[in-house]
C-alpha cells in the first residue's frame, strides 16, 4: 500500500527540516514542490507531497500515517 502526505510551511529552514525528516523516515518526494504567497500571513508558503510504500493492510483514517509500517 502507498500512503501520501502533503507537507506545508513557511519558506524557511523549518520547512526544509520537515521535508528532510520525512525523507529520513522513508518518505519519497512526489512531484514538484509548490511555492505561493499567503496574503493572510504575508509570507511565502511551501508545499511538498511525499509518499511511502508500507505493508499491505487495511486503510484506517483514524490511524496516524507515521504509524503505518
Record the pTM. Answer: 0.84
Residues 5/49, Cβ–Cβ less than 8 Å: yes
Strands lying side by side in the sheet with 43-53: 2-10, 43-53, 28-38
Mean residue pLDDT of the chain comes to: 94
Instruction: Report pLDDT for 8.
Output: 97
Q: How far apart are CA 31 and CA 41, in angstroms?
A: 26
Let me know: does 15 contact 9? Beta carbons within 8 Å: yes
Query: In a structure prediction context, what are the per-residue pLDDT tens digits for the chain, which is 69 residues long?
Result: 999 999 999 999 999 999 999 999 999 999 999 999 999 999 999 999 999 999 999 999 999 988 888
Return the C-alpha cell found at 55: 505493508
Amino acid at each position: 500500500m502507498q500512503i501520501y502526505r502533503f507537507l506545508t510551511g513557511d519558506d524557511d529552514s523549518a520547512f526544509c527540516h520537515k521535508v528532510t525528516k520525512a525523507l529520513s523516515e522513508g518518505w519519497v518526494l512526489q512531484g514538484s514542490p509548490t511555492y505561493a504567497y499567503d496574503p493572510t500571513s504575508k509570507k511565502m508558503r511551501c508545499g511538498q507531497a511525499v509518499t511511502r510504500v508500507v505493508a499491505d493492510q487495511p486503510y484506517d483514517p483514524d490511524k496516524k500515517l507515521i504509524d503505518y509500517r
